[in-house]
Amino acid sequence: MPYGIISALDQGSGESGGFVVWIGVAGAIVLVLLIALTLKTRTGNSNSNSNSNSNRNSNRNSNGNSNGNGNGNGNGNGNGMHQLQRKRAFTANNVETKRFTTTRFQEGYEMTQVDDLLAKAAAELRRLEDENTSLQRQPAASGRGAVPAATPILTAEAVVKQKFNPTRIRAGYAQDEVDDFLDELVLALRTWTSENEELRARSVDGGASSR
């Protein structure tokens, strides 16, 4: 083969190899930049998620307290009746049938954790409803004593303190929807519990005075 052709082939082979090397170097640089960006984003998200969870829990607590105080101070007036109607409207069935919007590629709440909390909430509301029915049926002056208080499955305070792991790439529940629903749940738990305690105290006082 003539020398000129061999030289041209060698030169082409060298240029092709150099091009492959440059492609590999560029790919490595892009990969390093992507990893650095991902780590920075995760760090920022972790801090924002911590602050976000803290703010959401604070709001959930303040909403529950303001509603609970309104209920306690409003017994016997229009506000008390309004709160009672809200409680009656929020039962275990509301929790069992609740559906949240599913998020993906944006911040949401871990679905399993939310589902576990709602399962406990439904069970606790069902217990409070049954307890309320028993207390309502028992005459105040029956002398049999009040229906004993059972250990709660879930308290309003536990809901206030509940935190969920955030999701971004995998599916999660829309955070605003979950938070708004938990505000209602906190109010319902406090209202049911408060009324049952009042009914139990009334039954005890009635039984004592009849003796």
> In this structure, is residue 157 part of a structural domain?
yes
Query: Domain span at residue 164?
Result: 92-140+149-206
Task: Look up residue 39 and give its two tokens.
Answer: 């780590």
Asked, for residue 183, whether it belongs to a domain, the answer is yes
Query: CA angle, 74 as apex, 140 and 162 as ends, to 5°?
Result: 95
Q: Give the C-alpha separation, 187 to 110, whole Å.
A: 23
Instruction: Give the per-residue pLDDT at 77.
Output: 47
Quote the strand ranges of 106-204, DSSP E. Answer: 108-109, 166-167, 172-173
Q: What is the pLDDT of residues 65-106, one digit of tens each?
A: 555 454 444 444 445 545 555 555 699 999 999 999 999 999
- Per-10-residue mean pLDDT of the chain, 211 residues long, equals 49 61 83 73 54 61 54 46 58 97 96 98 97 84 67 97 96 98 97 94 65 47
Q: Confirm if 200 and 146 have CB atoms less than 8 A apart.
A: yes
- What is the reported pLDDT for 84? 56
Q: Is residue 2 part of a domain?
A: no
Does a structural domain hold residue 10?
Answer: no
Q: Is 160 helix (H, G, I), strand (E, B) or coil?
A: helix
Position 182: which residue type?
Answer: L
Per the structure, how many domains does the chain have?
1
Task: Assess if residue 61 is contained within a domain.
Answer: no
The answer to whether residue 112 is domain-embedded is yes
Note the pLDDT of residue 30. Answer: 82
Buried b (16+ CB within 10 A) or exposed e, 190-207: bbbbbbbeebbeebeebb
Q: Does 43 map to a domain?
A: no
Question: What does the pLDDT read at residue 76?
Answer: 45
Return the pLDDT at 159: 98
- Residue 197 within any structural domain of the chain: yes
Tokens read off for 193: 């519990």
